[in-house]
Amino acid sequence: MDNTLITNVMLKAQQWLDGAYDENTKAEIRHLMENNQKELIECFYTDLEFGTGGLRGIMGVGTNRVNIYTVAMATQGLSNYLIKNFPGKKLSAAIAYDCRNNGQLFAQKTAEVFAANGIKVYLFDSLRPTPELSFAIRHFACQTGVVVTASHNPKEYNGYKVYWEDGAQIIAPHDKNIIAEVRKISSISDVKQKASEGMIHSIGNEVDAVYLNRLETVVKGKEYISKVADMKIVYTPIHGTGVELVPAILKQIGFNNIYGVDAQNVVDGNFPTVQSPNPENADALQMAIDKAMEVDADLVMATDPDADRVGIAIKVNNQFLLLNGNQTGAILSYYMLNTWKEQNLLQGKEYMVKTIVTTELIAEMAKAFHVEYYDVLTGFKYIAGIMRQNEGKKTFIFGGEESYGYLAGDFVRDKDAVMACALIAETAAWAKNQNKSLWDILMEIYAKYGYFQEDLVNVVKKGKEGAEEISRMMQNFRDNTPAKIGGSDVVMIKDYLNSETINLKENRRENISLPKENVLQFITEDFTKISVRPSGTEPKIKFYVSVKIDLAKSENFEAAQKCAREKILLVKSDLAI
């Protein structure tokens, strides 16, 4: 083992033992020193990275763990940046937390450090969804906000997500500038912790009511709901923050039969009923599907711990089928476009937004309805960036990403599963009014715009050698573009790192106006799209594959599906993934 590494770890651990840290923390450090050097190294070998979105990591003692001290130091750095960025202004911040273990503790510490820096704090009195935090920032005209969450990560994790005054997650230049300020905080002694009295304000149900009332304004089809108000819906929060507000909004817009999953309505950061609290995973919805079979429900919905993403299952031939994020986003887009058109709301200034790895089906529908659409980099903060750019000039209809995040309306600036659950249920009611199911609507979409099938391949490459290999893979794709992929000629390359589109058929180059990011896309003659990007949070490189098959009749769906699967397999073979 590297002696220099051990020496540095022991030095950092001793600094904590000698510093102004609580006795329980010091006792845990001593225990690790005496009994578990390997874990001690993990806790202290580096400083937990404050990334472009904030902190996320395993909870525990040490510089490389999420604890009250790393949270306090991050908040001090953020406070310093706010004071520099808004000179002479009375500053305020909103804070929320989800069901994660220690969530309330970390939120309280964040509030205390803000307050000690003269920043007024609006602190939710109990767990709340991430999108409500986004709403609260705008509602109280704050300059920033923090939500303590690790989204759908395993139970050992927690995190700290930072928002700006528009209610969106931080983007350039603020992200890098905040990181620079956080890195200047080298010790807990650099943190102000004595708050003036009256600087922390508890907020609760009164904000919930305003938030839900604003969500209700997004609902355009109450007449559809009223005709099928007894439609049966099963919803699970998977032990998280949606437990109160999702059933509340469904009832508020007119649904009468909402069934919960008792075992998963228990707020618990250990997530005892699932392997992972991720609505993308089939097992996370299994208990809800079992309940739906028992009560003969029409729809199953499940939100992640901080209720910003939602997964659904729909009834097909008396069985429940899980939809992926692209399919749900397509159905919601189709409903919104149709409803806005029927109600004469399309006036020529409306727009939609999706990420570059999300299904092209949404773009096809927007074009058909003569609605402008934008492609943005992966991450909902970029969707929010387009909303900020168009504020007061154009009207936002809908935004979505393949990773189960959706938004309508402009008063929240992050993906909102509370809102999405209302829209999904409303869309199901719209279908039921036509004697159709959501599956029928999906088949209708495919018949009109083509059958799109997507697949995601994660290639894991761990450690320093893995990171170097991922870098070589990306460079190799740039230097040696495949001539054919999946049996079709590559006709276009989009290189987001070099900010250019290369049209191979016309031998023409154009600039890409999006921020630089290490992403490559290959588009073939038959509309197959392959996106390649290293993960920003995990040791892996991601391959997003999308293929399109014409589907003249919904009866041909199975044949189209088989053809799409074969094409995706061919693409994977060609790329050796």
Q: What is the DSSP string of 238-281?
A: TTSTHHHHHHHHHHHTT--EEEE-GGGSS--TT-TT-SS--TTS
Based on its alpha-carbon atoms, the radius of gyration of the chain, rounded to whole angstroms, reads: 24
Tokens of 295: 């009560």
Q: How far apart are CA 571 and CA 72, in angstroms?
A: 48
* Nearest in space to 193 (alpha carbons), one of 90, 108, 96, 88: 108
- Secondary-structure breakdown of the chain: helix, strand, coil percentages, each rounded to the nearest 5: 40, 25, 35
* Catalytic option among 79, 92, 151, 531: 151
Q: Is 151 marked active-site?
A: yes
Furthest C-alpha separation in the chain: 73
Q: In terms of DSSP bridges, do strands 500-503 and 488-495 run parallel, antiparallel, or are they unpaired?
A: antiparallel
CB 257 within 8 Å of CB 232: yes
Cα dist from 331 to 7, 267, 367, 424, 426, whole Å: 57, 30, 16, 8, 11
The pair of structure tokens assigned to 210 is 């305003």
Strands 92-97 and 120-124: parallel
Rounded Cα distance, 319 and 327, in Å:
18
- Single-letter code of the amino acid located at 285: L
**Omega before 173 cis (within 30°)?**
yes
3-class secondary-structure state, position 441 = helix
Neighbouring residues of 153: CB distance < 8 A, sequence distance ≥ 6: 56, 159
What single-letter amino acid sits at 347?
A: Q
The catalytic site residues sit at 151
